[in-house]
Amino acid sequence: MSLLQADPSSALPLAGSRHRWGLLALLAVTMVWGTTFPAMKAMSGDLQAFEIIVLRFAVSSAVLWPFLRGLRPQEWRWGLLMGKVMFVATALQVSGLGLTSSNRNAFLTGLNVVLVPIIASTLGQRLGWPVVAGAVLSVLGMTGLFYESAPWSLGDTLTLASAFVYAAYVLTFESCAKATAREGLPCRPERLAAVQSFVMLGLGGVGVLGVHGDALATLGTRAEAHLWPIVYLGLVASAGIVWLQAWGQARVRAVEAALMYGLEPVFAAITAVFYIHEVLAGRALLGAALIVLGVMLSQWPVKTAAPSLQPREA
């Protein structure tokens, strides 16, 4: 999930076909992100959180390692910092996923879109009415979502914590963009992705050895049953999607990109129905709809919109 605040300078319409292809690209990005939740949920029955991270980013690192050559010092510095933040967020999310449904995990993770501007307000950025209204709708949606079939669980708490850390990641990315722009050498997204991927792999490996070292001998056997999901998560969702995301955002206004990203929980729920047979019904379905509405409303353009924030990588 990512956040982009509306930019007042983006009010002019973009070229027709260029604009349409940009929207389609971001729609594809959001769909891919949505599919990762049920895929990881299915894996969590056989694999622990750190093991999933290691397997996923081993594939990603194998693809991205050529981009480590010719790195600028600031790309190393920011990549290492952002990789650490992303590791904490992913570890919390995957740990929570093993203890709650993929639908709950996806919708709670999506709240980082509302959390980012709220946290940013404590750093001096102004909040508009859409953010406040979006936050209220999201809280109401959480109430419906978590009282449909089961009470709030430890998995939900871990996932909510991950949403806060993801919000910190988005703000870190914004700081990176501003700092490197002032230096006249903006960080290249594929280079940042490569550094972050190896940080994730390294920290995940430390976690596996420290927490699940006794089960390391059976990791290959357990992972074999999930070979294709692992390849999909590493190759498509972690490595390839970076370029498509950057390409699409260059062709679409910030507010439209944010609306696309707000659809991530919807795609997660749809995928869960077909992949692991999870279904939202009744009050939970209404709660899910309110969260999506709150996420999208929080990005509604206002005349005094906050500065544009950079996107989170999936």
Is 50 a member of any domain?
yes
Q: Cα separation of 116 and 170, whole Å?
A: 7
Is 9 a member of any domain?
no
Is 119 a member of any domain?
yes
Is 1 a member of any domain?
no
Is 124 a member of any domain?
yes
Q: Cα separation of 191 and 180, whole Å?
A: 14
CA dihedral 2, 13, 182, 123 (to 10 degrees): -50
Is 309 a member of any domain?
no
HEC string for the chain = CCCCCCCHHHCCCCCHHHHHHHHHHHHHHHHHHHHHHHHHHHHCCCCCHHHHHHHHHHHHHHHHHHHHCCCCHHHHHHHHHHHHHHHHHHHHHHHHHCCCCHHHHHHHHCCHHHHHHHHHHHCCCCCCHHHHHHHHHHHHHHHHHHCCCCCCCHHHHHHHHHHHHHHHHHHHHHHHHHHHHHHCCCCCHHHHHHHHHHHHHHHHHHHHHHHCHHHHHHHHHHHHCCHHHHHHHHHHHHHHHHHHHHHHHCCCCHHHHHHHHCCHHHHHHHHHHHHCCCCCCHHHHHHHHHHHHHHHHCCCCCCCCCCCCCCCCC
Angle at 235 between CA 229 and CA 240, to 5 degrees: 135
Q: Cα separation of 57 and 260, whole Å?
A: 25
Domain that holds residue 241: 16-297
pTM: 0.77
**Residue partners of 213: CB distance under 8 A and separation at least 6:** none
Using N-to-C axis directions, what is the helix angle for 16-43 and 254-261, rounded to 10°?
Answer: 30
Q: Cα separation of 52 and 94, whole Å?
A: 8
User: How do the pLDDT tens digits run along the chain, 314 residues long?
Assistant: 444 443 433 333 445 777 788 778 878 888 898 888 888 888 888 898 899 999 999 999 999 999 999 999 999 999 999 899 999 999 999 999 888 888 788 888 878 777 877 887 787 767 778 877 887 888 788 777 666 567 888 999 999 999 899 888 878 877 887 788 788 887 788 888 899 999 999 999 999 998 877 778 888 889 998 999 999 999 998 888 766 766 776 676 644 666 677 677 778 777 777 777 777 677 777 887 888 888 778 767 665 444 444 444 44
Is 312 a member of any domain?
no
Q: What pLDDT, on the 0 to 100 scale, is given for residue 256?
A: 62
Gap between the terminal Cα atoms of the chain: 7
Is 230 a member of any domain?
yes
**Residue partners of 147: CB distance under 8 A and separation at least 6:** 283
Q: Tell me, rounded to whole angstroms, the distance of Cα 222 from its chain centroid.
A: 26
Per the structure, the count of domains in the chain is 1
